[in-house]
A and B are shown apart, each in its own frame.
Chain A
Amino acid sequence: MIDLNSKISKSVASVPPSAIRKFFDLASEMKGVISLSIGEPDFVTPWSIREAGINSLVDGYTHYSPNAGYTNAKKAIVNYINRRYGIEYEHNGECLITVGGSEGLDLAARALINPGDEVIIVEPCFVAYKATVLFAHGVPVTISTRQEDDFKLKAEDLEAAITDKTKYLIMGYPGNPTGAVMTMEDLAPIRDVLMKHPEIIVISDELYCELNYVSDELSSLARFPELKDRVVMINGFSKSYAMTGFRIGYVLGPKELIAPMTKIHQYCIMSAPSMSQFAVVEAAMNCDDQVKAMRDEYNHRRRVIIKGLNDAGLECFTPSGAFYAFPSIKNTGLTSEEFCERFLMEKKVAIVPGSAFGECGKDNVRISYAASMENIKTAMERLAEFTADLKKGK
């Protein structure tokens, strides 16, 4: 009898299945659960964007697009980036349209890593960073950011993590799961460290860029002209435009890096969905108002969540972006898994243990406010009851 498990590639087998799989199954099977564990917008995609996708089908655009994407979609994207960030990219050669931001992470890893290369990952972070590095036979080197630093990357921590094997740094701000934002001022010391290490590439995941509640100015390491030629920006429409199901994202960067990524994309994906590329043109060009309306609503919910966490006696740094709060549950004496499992079983609210996002998240939980105000309020009432129960030793 063949042992199929032994046939699995070591790099794939080395990545443990999601630690919270059991918890996930539990939450999916229970009835009447309020879920604040979802990392995608609750809004339906704005109608004009959906309509643009529909119209492309009506007009017969049901074929492969050019590998890197339709010219009009790439132009819409680079114009949008120029308008919002003030950064200039050429639509031809410096822009690749991908299947979501996640494909960009995978392409970056496969295009850049030789076996044994180190990749610096700023944690707590989106779960795919580490996995894509391991799949590509890289060695993840993690930096733990801290609640007392508002989960911002510190220059000294970066400096300490760099070795002569470091291939690239990957970081995501505004951050999942923390909601942390790094301003240009915060990024300046990071730039200074990187200027001392001119061999290091930066992969900057900016999927949540529009969901910033403290500033209209979008920050990115790519905005430093002296760094731009080695920064790959991974971005997309999933989070800011509520387009997760369209599976559309993009990478922007120097031609020399976009070309090998396009090569992999060409062989493995062929091209991003044509329908979604038409939807993107509408999103990038005409939907600032809809994005603002969603951002305002998230901001209202954010404040309700923060008050709810304070009322429940959980210490939380004030998140400035994305749609997550990441409070500490250390004072309850429970691990983040125990906290989430008991909260689910006893109060029927699903949230995610911080440990899912890296070792340094083990004292925190991720609460998503991509949910209706009504559900958020009810969940916060239940959270206050839950922490009161814990105090009473129930």
Chain B
Amino acid sequence: MIDDIELLKIIEKDPRITPADIAVQLGAAAEEVEAEIDRLKEEKILLGYTAEINWSKSYPEKVTALIEVRITPQRDRGFDNIAKILSKYDKVTDCYLMSGAFDLLLIYNDDSLKNIAEFVYNKVATSEGVLSTATHFILKKYKSNGIFFEDETTDDRQAIVL
């Protein structure tokens, strides 16, 4: 019997890992792991695999903004409708419903501050139900999805310890 959470944690840590390697780590059969992964995909638990990239090194023009959006919830649909609409823009990578002073948080990536500004005042601010926005730009990433961006930890333990 495979522990789903253990399986998902392994994949989260190394999305490129093969079912055969997962099987060894879990002490299970490869076919069993494959079947479980299929099931997790079918049930929309395992949704996809992403890479963590330090874009500031290869593509320094790229700008990431966090856009806070305050909205008026719609009758019967609450926040979902407008959240789904704003999520449809390709350059919106993340969209969350938040507690606190605002309602939606969008993470948006583009080539320039100007493009982001245009997106905010042309698309977001003018959407029906949007009351106000506040845009914050990411200046530097230190850690994302558990990965350090400038970590240079080396294994400096003694070669042999009894």
List the interface of chain A (C-beta within 8 A of B): 18, 20, 23-24, 27-28, 33, 35, 37-40, 42, 44, 126-127, 296, 300-301, 303-304, 307, 350, 352, 356-357, 371-372
Main secondary structure of the interface of A (DSSP, over half): mixed
- A371 to B155 alpha-carbon distance, docked (Å): 9
User: Across the interface, do A300 and B162 meet the contact criterion of CB distance under 8 Å?
Assistant: no
Q: Is the CB of A37 within 8 A of B24?
A: no
Contact A24-B25, Cβ < 8 Å, known A44-B153, A296-B6: no
CB-CB nearest in chain B for A127: B162
> Once the chains bind, are B157 and A350 in contact (CB under 8 Å)?
no
Return B34 CB to nearest CB of chain A, in Å: 17
Point out the residue from A38, A40, A307 that lies within 8 Å of B24, measured CB to CB.
Answer: A307
Q: Which chain B residue has the least Cβ–Cβ distance from A245?
A: B157
Q: Are A303 and B26 in contact (CB under 8 A)?
A: yes
Question: How distant is B7 from chain A, measured CB to nearest CB, in Å?
Answer: 11
Given that A303-B24, A303-B26, A303-B27 are known contacts, is A27 also in contact with B162, CB under 8 Å in the complex?
A: no
- Could you give, for residues 25-61 of chain B, a 1 whenever the CB lies within 8 Å of some chain A CB and a 0 otherwise? 1110000000000000000000000000000000000
Alpha-carbon distance A368/B85, docked complex (angstroms):
53
Partner of A40, one of B25, B26, B157: B157
A28 to B160, CA, bound (A): 8
Query: Given A38, A44, A300, A303, which contacts B159 in the complex, CB threshold below 8 Å?
Result: A38
State the CA gap A126–B161 with chains docked (Å): 11
Instruction: Report chain A residues within 8 Å CB of B161.
Output: 37-40
- A303 x B162 contact (CB < 8 A): no
List B residues at the A interface (Cβ < 8 Å): 6, 9-10, 21, 24-27, 153, 155, 157-162
Complex: how many Å from CA A122 to CA B141?
Answer: 52
Chain A nearest CB: distance from B99 CB in Å?
Answer: 24
Q: Is the CB of A126 within 8 A of B159?
A: no
CB of A24 within 8 A of CB of B159, answer yes
Pairs A–B under 8 Å by Cβ, sample size 17: A18-B162, A23-B160, A24-B160, A27-B159, A27-B160, A28-B158, A38-B158, A38-B160, A40-B161, A126-B162, A296-B9, A301-B25, A303-B24, A303-B25, A304-B21, A352-B160, A356-B162
Min CB distance B157 to A, Å, is 5
Query: For residue A30, which residue of chain B has the nearest CB?
Result: B159
Cβ–Cβ < 8 Å partners of B159 in chain A: 24, 27-28, 33, 35, 37-38, 350
B153 adjacent to A300 (CB under 8 Å): no
Name the CB-closest residue of A to B3.
A296
Report B-chain residues with C-beta under 8 Å of the C-beta of A296: 6, 9
Give the docked Cα–Cα distance between A300 and B9 (Å): 12
Query: Bound complex: CA of A208 vs CA of B126, how far in Å?
Result: 61
